Amino acid sequence: MIEIRDIEKKYEMGGETVHALDKVTLSIQDGEFVAIIGPSGSGKSTLMNIIGCLDVADSGTYILNGKPIEKYSERQLARIRNKNIGFIFQGFNLLSKLSALENVELPMIYQGVPAHERHKRAKEALEHVGLAGRIKHKPTELSGGQQQRCAIARALAAHPSLILADEPTGNLDKKTGKEILNLFLELHEQGNTIVLITHDPKVADWAERIVYIEDGKITSEGRGTRRYGTDELTIDEKHTYDAETQAEEVMPDGADAIL
Amino acid sequence: MALMQSFKMALKSIAGNKMRSFLTMLGMIIGIVAIVVLVSIAQGANASVISSIEGMGTNMITVSVRSRRANPIKLSTLDELSDDPYIEAYAPYLSVTGTVKAGNTVYDDASIIGTSSSYMLIRALEMEDGRFLSTPDIDNRSHVAVIGSEAAEEMYGSTDCVGSSFSIDGTAYTVVGVLKSKGTSSVGSQDTMVLIPFTLAQRITQTTGVTSFYVTATSSENVDFAQTGVEDFLKKYFSSTSYYSVFNQTQMLSTLSETTSTLTLMLGGIAAISLLVGGIGIMNIMLVSVSERTREIGIRKAIGASRGNILSQFLIEALVLSIMGGALGILLSYLIVTIVSPLIGVTMVMSAEVSLAAVAFAVIIGAVFGLYPAAKASKLRPIEALRYDG
Ligand SMILES: Nc1ncnc2c1ncn2[C@@H]1O[C@H](COP(=O)(O)OP(=O)(O)O)[C@@H](O)[C@H]1O
Ligand SMILES: [Mg+2]
């Protein structure tokens, strides 16, 4: 349960103050699938970093699971980042000296997952995102899309209950992007909370709830139609739905968007 | 997270950054080798000086006269010393420069010394072949010489050369005796000596006085009495004690070890500077890689590493690197001291204390400068560490 009230974040840039977040109030229930959508520079990543306990707001309150964030100790926050949150960064943030497999294993090392299980889960996660043949590669030996999928695998393999994804499909082609979104749907069905950041309305449309942000302010809210609108689908129907999108892909109208 | 995991991560990081690891260790190795080897040289010099002086016997007194003008001590005046009951023997000593030539062979390493027959007893020389210089040789200024074993080998190819002749600056001499080998000592090799009658040496150098001479006491207990006798003798001829100096072996030993301890101090100082430079090298490489490492720390924190995780990884990394560097440094020093030193003919004595101190210093520097940036970075908010770019 995430409760944010009147959060502000300012940056001083050469005498000018940028209000990256301007009195943002937002609640996210456990198990929700929320998309935060807004143009570039609207404060999405800033908000995400605060939700993910990587950064702190200048003012306002952030209550995580019923407790104000400032009441958590440094060690407790490390545990939360490690066990509860799966962060998918816009810039991937993979360790360049480690292989894809080692990168995916890293959060589990800090969790204390035994080597054998860690290895198995990391491999499975990489297979899941279609990187089975690249597990020994270093990030520099992977394409942008592959790095993004590696970062996704790293977040998912640790089994977090809250997934924070910052433009997770930004570097992916249509088909992989759709696979990743399906993965999120699946995790959502299993009861995980998902916060998806995007600037693309077609991607946001996959979420249950859509929050619009502009110039650091939340302007409106809506509901996703792609999946939760009139023709609501369930996981069981996924393959039919896949067939549908594939059919749609060959049509020229959605060519500029990811999906 | 278990210590084992931190250890594995540290090793992975060392292996994954070979260049950085190598440079860190290089600084350490250079510093340690410099200090250990230089101190070994100084201590080696000290040890060899002491042993060679001790080897010369402790009942010897050395006199050297400083005023060359109107030197009142003549060879005949020395005879007064024979009346002293504590004095066993005395011999004048005069070093000569000249070209030694046997046939067509020029022997450059010769140390030509003019002396008397007692020199054999005083320096405890032994004959390989032939005889030593005799009193008539001195009195008659005979053109005869006694040579060291190395001199004989170099000049004639064998020590079997009594009766052969050679020349010093064109003047002919006959070899009457060859000395047994005594080996090299820091006060000069006796094996390269070419000993000629003192009177001839005076003629060559165009001097009339005795500028230095050796005296031996009847026993080492009597050295002080003998020295008093020598000083009384000198006082008769000189108006001031500043014209001469009298040394017994014990004094010489302490003077020389003062000199060598100055040498030790000086070399130690140079070595300490190189260790410091090595330490600064370690520090630099650790600090230079900080921006890269700060991002790494940011990533690790973002995915759930605690400060403790980060610090233990970096501490172990720094310790492993500096201990490895230290061990390699000591190994290299050991190789230099045991293999290289005999090859270049320099005595070196490796000191366990100095080696240990050098390694300890390197390890502390490595740990401090490996940990300090990591400790700083691990305090940052993950997002600050992720954004860090130097
Ligand atoms: N570290 C920073 N220093 C200064 N300004 C920043 C910093 N991070 C973000 N900003 C500014 O804050 C605003 C919001 O940034 P961000 O949250 O990254 O936007 P988005 O992710 O929506 O594109 C932008 O105007 C950006 O320039
Ligand atoms: Mg962003």
Higher pLDDT, B264 or A162: A162
Residue A258 has pLDDT above 50, yes or no: no
Do B33 and B150 fall into the same domain?
Answer: no
Cα separation, A43 vs A217, whole angstroms: 8
User: How far from chain centre, in Å, is Cα B357?
Assistant: 22
pLDDT in the model for residue A252: 38
pLDDT in the model for residue A69: 94
Q: Do B304 and A110 touch (CB under 8 A)?
A: yes
Q: Report residue A252 as tokens.
A: 């020229």
Residues of chain A contacting residue B300, judged by C-beta atoms under 8 Å apart = 95, 106, 110
C-beta separation of A223 from A217 below 8 A: no
pLDDT in tens, B87-143: 999 999 999 999 999 988 899 888 999 999 999 988 888 899 999 999 999 999 999
Do B109 and B16 fall into the same domain?
Answer: no
pLDDT in the model for residue B344: 81
pLDDT in the model for residue A231: 43
Residue A43 CA to ligand 2 center (angstroms) comes to: 7
Would B325 be classed as within a structural domain? yes
- C-alpha distance from B388 to closest chain A C-alpha (Å): 13
Would B236 be classed as within a structural domain? no
Mean pLDDT of B240-247: 86
Residue A123 has pLDDT above 90, yes or no: yes
- Per-range mean pLDDT, top range of A47-56, B73-82, B121-130, B284-293: A47-56
pLDDT in tens, B307-354: 988 888 888 888 888 888 889 999 999 998 888 888 887 778 888 888
Would B240 be classed as within a structural domain? no
Which atom of ligand 1 is nearest to A38's Cα? 22
Q: Do A78 and B307 touch (CB under 8 A)?
A: yes
Question: Percentage of chain B surpassing pLDDT 90?
Answer: 30
Q: At what angle do helices B352-379 and B18-55 cross, to 10 degrees?
A: 160
B85: left (phi over 0), alpha (psi -120 to 50) or beta: alpha
User: How far from chain centre, in Å, is Cα A109?
Assistant: 21
Structural domains in chain B (count): 2
Give the residue from B207, B232, B267 where a domain finishes.
B207
User: How far from chain centre, in Å, is Cα A126?
Assistant: 17
Residues of chain A contacting residue B2, judged by C-beta atoms under 8 Å apart = 112
B69 pLDDT tier (thresholds 50, 70, 90): low
The length of chain B is 390
Dihedrals φ, ψ of B161, to 5°? -140, 15
A61 pLDDT tier (thresholds 50, 70, 90): very high
DSSP string for residues in B220-288: GGGHHHHHHHHHHHHHHH-S-GGGEEEEEHHHHHHHHHHHHHHHHHHHHHHHHHHHHHHHHHHHHHHHH
Would B227 be classed as within a structural domain? no
What's the first-to-final CA gap in chain A, in angstroms? 30
Going from the C-alpha of B354 to that of each of B187, B272, B363, the distances in angstroms are 28, 11, 14
pLDDT in tens, B195-220: 999 999 999 998 888 989 999 988 87
Q: For residue B233, what are the contacts with CB-CB under 8 A and spacing of at least 6?
A: B80, B81, B84
Higher pLDDT, B46 or A94: A94
> Apex CA B141: angle with CA B136 and CA B146, to 5°?
75
- C-alpha distance from B339 to closest chain A C-alpha (Å): 40
Would B243 be classed as within a structural domain? no
Do B150 and B272 fall into the same domain?
Answer: no
CA-CA-CA-CA torsion sign (A108, A110, A112, A115): positive
A39 pLDDT tier (thresholds 50, 70, 90): very high
Would B162 be classed as within a structural domain? yes
Nearest to B25 by CA among B36, B16, B40, B14: B14
| Beta strand B212-217 pairing with B87-96 | antiparallel
What's the predicted TM-score (pTM) here? 0.68
Do B259 and B381 fall into the same domain?
Answer: yes
Cα separation, B84 vs B388, whole angstroms: 88
Give the residue from B207, B235, B266 where a domain finishes.
B207
Q: Report residue B19 as tokens.
A: 């260049």
Pocket of ligand 1, candidates A36, A46, A50: which has the most ligand atoms within 8 Å of its Cβ, to mutate?
A46
The residue of chain A nearest to residue B383, with distances taken between CA atoms, is: A54
Cα separation, A199 vs A38, whole angstroms: 5
Do B262 and B379 fall into the same domain?
Answer: yes
Do B260 and B346 fall into the same domain?
Answer: yes
Do B197 and B260 fall into the same domain?
Answer: no
Cα separation, A178 vs A126, whole angstroms: 16
Alpha carbons within 13 A on the beta-carbon side of A166: 21
Mean pLDDT of B10-25: 85
Cα separation, B321 vs B301, whole angstroms: 23
Residues of chain B contacting residue A54, judged by C-beta atoms under 8 Å apart = 302, 381-383, 386
Lowest mean pLDDT, pick from A61-70, B141-150, B355-364: B355-364
Q: Report residue A178 as tokens.
A: 């759709």
Do B194 and B310 fall into the same domain?
Answer: no
pLDDT in the model for residue B57: 62
Residue B365 has pLDDT above 60, yes or no: yes
Give the residue from B147, B178, B207 where a domain finishes.
B207
From B12, B296, B302, residue closest to A81, measured CB to CB: B302
**ipTM of predicted complex:** 0.86
* Average pLDDT taken over every residue of chain B: 85
Alpha carbons within 13 A on the beta-carbon side of B40: 24
Do B48 and B142 fall into the same domain?
Answer: no
pLDDT in tens, B178-194: 999 876 554 557 888 99
DSSP classification of residue A214: E
pLDDT in the model for residue B1: 55
pLDDT in the model for residue A239: 39
Cα separation, A58 vs A34, whole angstroms: 24
Whose Cα sits closest to atom 27 in ligand 1? A41
Mean pLDDT of B223-249: 87
Do B263 and B315 fall into the same domain?
Answer: yes
From B304, B383, B384, residue closest to A83, measured CB to CB: B304
Would B42 be classed as within a structural domain? yes
Q: Report residue A164 as tokens.
A: 């924070």
Alpha carbons within 13 A on the beta-carbon side of A172: 27
- B308: number of Cβ within 10 Å: 14
Domain hosting B349: range is: 2-52+255-387
Do B96 and B48 fall into the same domain?
Answer: no
Pocket of ligand 1, candidates A8, A16, A18: which has the most ligand atoms within 8 Å of its Cβ, to mutate?
A18
User: Tokens 């740990």 belong to which residue?
Assistant: B367
Would B248 be classed as within a structural domain? no
Mean pLDDT of A63-70: 94
pLDDT in the model for residue A241: 39
Candidates A80, A82, A104, partner chain B, best to mutate (most B CBs within 10 A): A82
Mean pLDDT of B220-225: 83
Do B265 and B380 fall into the same domain?
Answer: yes
pLDDT in tens, A209-248: 999 999 999 999 988 877 654 344 443 334 333 444 443 4
Judged by DSSP in three states, B4 sits in helix
